[in-house]
Amino acid sequence: MKRTAFDLFHPIVAFGYFAVMLVLCMTAMQPVYLAVSLASALAYGAVLRGWRTTGRSLVWQLPLVAVVALANPLFSASGSTELFRIGLRAFYLESFVYGACMGVMLASVLALFSNAAQVLDSDKVMALFGGVAPTVGLMLSMTARLVPQFVRRGNGIADVERACTAARPAEVPAGRLAALRGYLRRTSVLMGWSMEDSLETAGAMKARGWGAVARRTTYARYRFRRFDAAALACGGALALLAAAAAWAACAEFRFYPTIGGLAPWWSYLPYVLFACLPLAITAKEHLRWRA
């Protein structure tokens, strides 16, 4: 796995950072804060996985934002700037903007979860929760790798199907029905592969004595140092400052009946600094190693 900026610290530092970012992202319902959350999450995702992989994720994230933005006016006919009418139903600009902000928030949360899964591998999750809640720690670590594993295996099945010309007729029928059959066939293979893997995993865990002792050990040992305590203290102070500024900005901003009430530009600085902490640490380490 690629080294990250959080490898310098104890896993509790990375866990605390992503937990605070997720809470702030889901509670700060304000356009500027949401834009900062999405931009910082995508930028750090590009550092972790590459710009091409992060760009491919936008292929479904941008339509998701558009769908939520278009769906919100169907449930909330509020606002003062009427755009158009369909029969007796009026559609307002404020409803579209609120829906777009909800879509951006959802995309930001998904990007943050993806980054957290990249940073907090199974060893770090087990180091955090293995002693207190070993079953929860194991479930979190297995769930974090489940979706990427499904994607890799699905792509592998599709590649094999395309390469194995003997497994399909000479003339492949075109159309939606044939495409649907192909998707169902690949899904069936993927489910069978996953169930077989789960049985092998259960057998391996039983053979290794899972549940035989009260406290499990971990492969990698992480020691909480003064450096980690200082990082937690500084990050916590910056998070409190960002949360206070976000609360004040969200209290001042309004979507209805008209959009308005943006806070001064300097009130966003604490949140920008907190959201860009991983990028700053990565840049510092990059410059340090190149010097």
CB-side neighbour CA atoms (13 Å) of 88: 0
User: Within 10 A of 56 (CB to CB), how many other CB atoms are there?
Assistant: 12
Query: Over pLDDT 70: what percentage of the chain?
Result: 86
Q: Distances from the Cα of 17 to the Cαs of 9, 119, 154, 248, 275, in angstroms? A: 12, 11, 32, 21, 9
Higher pLDDT, residue 257 or 46:
46
Position 170 pLDDT exceeds 70:
no
**118 φ, ψ (degrees, to nearest 5):** -75, -35
Residue 235: band (very low, low, confident or very high) from pLDDT cuts 50, 70, 90 = very high
Q: Mind listing the pLDDT tens digit for each residue in 33-50?
A: 999 999 999 999 999 888
Residue by residue, DSSP assigns the chain as: ----GGGGS-HHHHHHHHHHHHHHHHH---HHHHHHHHHHHHHHHHHHH-HHHHHHHHHHHHHHHHHHHHHHHHH----S-EEEEETTEEEEHHHHHHHHHHHHHHHHHHHHHHHHHHHS-HHHHHHHHTTT-HHHHHHHHHHHHHHHHHHHHHHHHHHHHHH-GGGS-SSPPPSHHHHHHHHHHHHHHHHHHHHHHHHHHHHHHHHTTTTSSSS---SS-----HHHHHHHHHHHHHHHHHHHHHHHHHHH-B-SSS-B-PPPGGGGHHHHHHHTHHHHHHHHHHHHHH-
Q: Mind listing the pLDDT tens digit for each residue in 104-161?
A: 999 999 999 889 888 887 777 777 766 656 666 667 667 767 777 777 888 888 888 7
Residue 89: band (very low, low, confident or very high) from pLDDT cuts 50, 70, 90 = confident
Position 23 pLDDT exceeds 90:
yes
Mean pLDDT of 236-262: 89
Q: How far is CA 180 from the centre of its chain?
A: 29
Helices 11-27 and 31-49: crossing angle, nearest 10°? 150
Position 79 pLDDT exceeds 90:
no
- The pLDDT value recorded for residue 75 is 82
Residue 31: band (very low, low, confident or very high) from pLDDT cuts 50, 70, 90 = very high
- The pLDDT value recorded for residue 43 is 93
Position 232 pLDDT exceeds 60:
yes
